[in-house]
Amino acid sequence: MKKIVLITGATSGIGYACAMKFAENGDKLILTGRNEQRLSTIHQELKAKGVEVLTLTFDVRDRDKAQLCLNELPKEWQNIDVLVNNAGLALGLEPEYEGRFEDWETMIDTNIKGLLNMTRLVVPGMVARNRGHIINIGSVAGDAAYAGGNVYCATKAAVKALSDGLRIDVANTPIRVTNLKPGLVETNFSNTRFHGDNERAANVYKGITPLTGDDIADVAVYATNAPAHVQIAEVLILATHQASGSVIVRN
């Protein structure tokens, strides 16, 4: 049966790759993001392939707008089966005692509170229907801090705690919760982290074959296609020459 999959931050990187992979899987897509023009381009791209797709423009930090958009969903789009909490970012790599307050607030508001907003808005419907799957995009950064990772790592540790907490809260239902924890994935992630310093961003992936968004999307689709009694609770996905958040062997 076709599932309705809602993906946040679908305009780039892992979120966009998830959109393409769930589309190939035959699912219906609700794609959300902040960049209306980019959403419209992706909408056209998928429509041309015969995919049923709906786009919603909102910032996950804006709970009221998110709620409004979800409340206005046409009836046939309301029964969301899969929520992919992907929207997120890192800003800066300074020592904790030198970090920028605004960067910290943006990361905490997006990666933690934004994910919570979406969970709070979408999961009650899943509970009422006794059906659903939440995929949170955590990170290897949530397993252990690395130099300069401080606040970003803390937000991804929070994603692990929130995934574990939600899994406990829905354990009496068929709803499944998956925390996907990628390592180095080459996307816009580092360009954003370094505030548009693209040369510095490119260096993050030098001397190693990084993961791609598709590598992560494959696992997301696998988790949702697993038999109903199988809950892929957590997956750490690393590039082959990456052993942890801080051990990366470059050639």
From residue 193 to residue 232, what is the string marking binding to ligand NDP with x (rule CB under 6 A)? --------------------x-------------------
Q: Residue 204: name the closest of 184, 227, 178 by CA.
A: 184
The entry of ligand 8X3, ligand NDP, none near residue 245 (CB within 5 to 8 angstroms by kind) is ligand 8X3
Whether 151 and 110 have beta carbons less than 8 Å apart is answered as no
Q: Which of 12, 150, 163, 178 binds ligand NDP (CB under 6 A)?
A: 12
- Stretch 220-249 residues interacting with ligand 8X3 (CB under 6 A): 245
Site map 150..189 versus ligand 8X3, x via CB under 6 A: ---------------------------------xx-----
3-state secondary structure of 5: strand
Query: Among residue numbers 77 through 116, which ones bind ligand NDP (CB under 6 A)?
Result: 86-89, 110, 114
Contact window for ligand 8X3 (CB under 6 A) among 63-71, 139-147, 195-203, 217-225: 139-147
Q: Report the alpha-carbon distance of residue 143 to residue 43 in Å, rounded.
A: 35
Quick check: 138 and 90 in contact, CB under 8 A? no
- The size of the interface with ligand NDP (CB under 6 A), counted in residues, is 29
**Smallest gap, in angstroms, from Cβ of residue 227 to ligand NDP?**
27
In the list 4, 121, 140, 158, the residue contacting ligand 8X3 (rule: CB under 6 A) is: 140
User: How far is residue 155 CA from its own chain's centroid?
Assistant: 13
Amino acid at 43: H
To the nearest whole angstrom, how small is the minimum distance from the Cβ of residue 35 to ligand NDP? Answer: 5
Q: Is residue 187 close enough to count as binding ligand NDP by CB under 6 A?
A: yes
Q: Which of 16, 146, 152, 222 is catalytic?
A: 152
CA-to-CA distance for 77 and 237, rounded, in angstroms? Answer: 31
Q: Decide if residue 29 touches ligand 8X3 (CB under 6 A).
A: no
- Per DSSP bridges, beta strands 82-85 and 53-57 are unpaired
Q: Identify whether 16 is a catalytic site residue.
A: no
- Over its C-alpha atoms, the chain yields an Rg (Å, rounded) of 17
Does 61 bind ligand NDP (CB under 6 A)? Our answer is yes
Residue found under tokens 């505030």: 195
137 binds, among ligand NDP, ligand 8X3, none (CB under 5 to 8 A by kind): ligand NDP
Give the span between the Cα atoms of 213 and 22, in whole angstroms: 13
User: Residues 147, 193: contact at Cβ < 8 Å?
Assistant: no
Say if residues 29 and 3 touch (Cβ distance below 8 Å): no
Q: Could you give the residue numbers annotated as active site?
A: 152
